[in-house]
Amino acid sequence: MITRLTAHSQSADWQRALARAVTDPEELFERLSLDPALLPATLKAAERFRVRVPLGYLGRMTPGDPNDPLLRQVLPLAEECLEVPGFQSDPVGDLESMPIPGLLHKYHGRVLLVTSGACAIHCRYCFRQHFPYRDASAIREAWPHILLYLRTHQDIQEVILSGGDPLTLNDEKLAAMVSDLAGIPHLRTLRLHSRLPVVLPERIDDALLGWLTSTRLRPIMVIHANHARELDGTTRAAMERLELAGVRLFNQTVLLKGINDNPDALATLSHALFDSGVQPYYLHMLDPVQGAAHFAVTEERALGIMDRLSRQLPGYLLPRLVREIPGQDKKTPLVQAPQAMDDSAI
């Protein structure tokens, strides 16, 4: 997430918007009229994991409110510098699941490609904020070896483009990658995991829709929204373009203390997603990455929230509460005990 973006022509609207993102903590404080007393801690935390916030996303925040749920996702805090037992640099065992640099093969029938170390936004809870992107990228020298791996593993039907964020790559590079993948007969589905439709909706343009929908591979995009206020008119328009082009849309949310750890916030998010043509999919327990312990929600509280949420939402709007455990061959669902949870758990 902290690798510098590859330099290329800043001609498209999304590239210009990406280049204008706020990367200076002092500018972030100035634009949002934040208390200067908080700045020293932010500067210190930003030394280990830089700030990056697109202006459009920043514009959805409430000035002067340090507890704004969108700001809390991107504001470096002193707590990030604490060493907390159980929180580590590789919390989901990525490096142990990488037969080739940049290719993760954890689950049957699908692989994930780490296409880029860049993101349009630096979320403070990111589970790959310590990932060695320079040594483990699916592009450049590793690409021929990845294609050979995919050709020789005929049980693989789906390829997931992730990162970082794959949509920070330019369309020419992505189109070439997807064309190579489409040439492997047993591959059926192309899935992209991206935060850009939410934080930089300008990215969803004609060029992107062209390469994403022009091959035989069935396109799926999993976006990442944690709060209903992340979804405004610009994001809804981007989702509508994807949906009309035939891209299936799902959302993954991370359960974050102080941001969305209550059933009302999550219910509002599910309705906002559905109104945008996006299916609520997973609600993830926080991956225990070093620097993010202050976002953690206990399992008991998470189950209590889900119990209340299941009473508020129809089943098609209810995300599945899951945790990723290193070494497991699937996501681990968390389910309520047969008896109803005590509301005091929330």
What pLDDT, in 10s, does the model give residues 171-213?
Answer: 999 999 999 999 999 999 999 999 999 999 999 999 999 999 9
- The per-residue pLDDT for 141 is 85
Domain hosting 25: range is 13-81
Q: State yes or no: pLDDT of 1 exceeds 50.
A: no
125 shares its domain with 209: yes
- The per-residue pLDDT for 337 is 65
112 shares its domain with 167: yes
The predicted model gives 107-120 an average pLDDT of 96
Q: Does residue 140 form part of some domain?
A: yes
279 shares its domain with 203: yes
Cα–chain center distance at 102: 17
The predicted model gives 295-324 an average pLDDT of 98
Q: Does residue 131 form part of some domain?
A: yes
Q: Does residue 46 form part of some domain?
A: yes
The predicted model gives 294-300 an average pLDDT of 98
315 shares its domain with 245: yes
Among residues 58, 81, 104, the one where a domain terminates is 81
Among residues 30, 47, 81, the one where a domain terminates is 81
Total of domains in the chain: 2
Looking from the CA of 185 toward its CB, the CA atoms found within 13 Å total 2
Q: Cα(77)–Cα(67) distance, rounded to whole angstroms?
A: 12
- The per-residue pLDDT for 2 is 37
159 shares its domain with 266: yes
Ramachandran quadrant class, 204 (left: phi over 0; alpha: psi -120 to 50; beta: rest): beta
Q: State yes or no: pLDDT of 283 exceeds 50.
A: yes
- The per-residue pLDDT for 183 is 98
- The per-residue pLDDT for 144 is 95
Q: State yes or no: pLDDT of 118 exceeds 80.
A: yes
77 shares its domain with 109: no
Q: Cα(76)–Cα(211) distance, rounded to whole angstroms?
A: 36
- The per-residue pLDDT for 342 is 55
Domain containing residue 221: CATH number: 3.20.20.70
Burial zone of 320 (CB within 10 Å; 0-12 exposed, 13-18 middle, 19+ buried) = middle
Q: How confident is the model at residue 4 (pLDDT cuts 50, 70, 90)?
A: very low
Q: Which of the residue ranges 3-17, 51-65, 90-104, 153-167 would you say has the lowest mean pLDDT?
A: 3-17
Q: Does residue 115 form part of some domain?
A: yes
Q: State yes or no: pLDDT of 304 exceeds 70.
A: yes
Q: State yes or no: pLDDT of 131 exceeds 60.
A: yes
Q: How confident is the model at residue 136 (pLDDT cuts 50, 70, 90)?
A: confident
Q: State yes or no: pLDDT of 9 exceeds 50.
A: no
Q: Does residue 341 form part of some domain?
A: yes
pTM: 0.93
- The per-residue pLDDT for 3 is 39
Q: What percent of the chain is modeled with pLDDT above 70? A: 94
The predicted model gives 221-227 an average pLDDT of 98
173 shares its domain with 261: yes
Q: Which of the residue ranges 105-119, 248-262, 268-282, 332-346 would you say has the lowest mean pLDDT?
A: 332-346
